[in-house]
A and B are shown apart, each in its own frame.
Chain A
Amino acid sequence: DSGVTQTPKHLITATGQRVTLRCSPRSGDLSVYWYQQSLDQGLQFLIQYYNGEERAKGNILERFSAQQFPDLHSELNLSSLELGDSALYFCASSVDASGYQETQYFGPGTRLLVL
């Protein structure tokens, strides 16, 4: 158990819908990262928040957005869902912001299925 929690574990929804994935980082960690894992793209970095502020952006679609709240939990919002958004979404956390000499600890993931 990494100490990072994610809810829900599974999510089934229809195309065009909007969903929210939630992540709570390890106690004391200020950075939260979101990754998408799909069969064709592999593990791709989406976005990072540090202490409430967006820190780095990766291959995140405009239909996706995220935020980090004062209690440091984070939410990833996915809207206008398409079949291709079906994937495993991981959240990770680390103590600091740089991500450079940081170890990221991963949550169990949310498996999203868009029908």
Chain B
Amino acid sequence: AQSVSQHNHHVILSEAASLELGCNYSYGGTVNLFWYVQYPGQHLQLLLKYFSGDPLVKGIKGFEAEFIKSKFSFNLRKPSVQWSDTAEYFCAVAGPPGGSQGNLIFGKGTKLSVKP
């Protein structure tokens, strides 16, 4: 069964600090990878996605993620965080179609708190 691990439950940073959130997935085949963000009281929004091609993916709001197949990882990065980045971040993986588990498997999420 596929699974997604997010290593940090809660990350606290000061503004302008650099961010890296870890994500590892278990599926060994071809995967599509996503990072979603959930701002307080809001719905999930897509930050970025990887389907194929360049393993360094750029998303919205200055976020990027790197797919490293050999490490089964898809870490999220931002060079300089802002207070408005305070949110919960979810990594998700979609495996090949037809799986009984459904189409999108989420990690438990990482809460990011940015201090002004």
* Cα distance A15–B24 in the bound complex, in angstroms: 38
Interface size class of B (residues with CB under 8 A): 20 to 34
Chain B residues contacting A43 (CB-CB under 8 Å) are 90, 106, 109
Chain B residues contacting A97 (CB-CB under 8 Å) are 97
Chain B interface SS verdict (over half): loop
Please tell me if the beta carbons of B42 and A108 are within 8 angstroms of each other in the complex: yes
The smallest beta-carbon distance between B38 and chain A, in angstroms, is: 9
* Cα distance A57–B101 in the bound complex, in angstroms: 6
Interface size class of A (residues with CB under 8 A): 20 to 34
* Cα distance A29–B99 in the bound complex, in angstroms: 21
The 7 closest A-B pairs by CB, nearest first: A99-B103, A45-B102, A58-B102, A43-B106, A106-B44, A98-B97, A42-B108
Can you show 15 pairs from A to B with CB atoms below 8 A apart? Answer: A33-B103, A35-B104, A35-B106, A42-B109, A48-B102, A57-B100, A58-B102, A98-B97, A100-B95, A100-B96, A100-B103, A102-B103, A103-B34, A105-B46, A106-B36
Binding site for B on A (CB under 8 A): 2, 4, 33, 35, 42-48, 56-58, 90, 92, 97-109
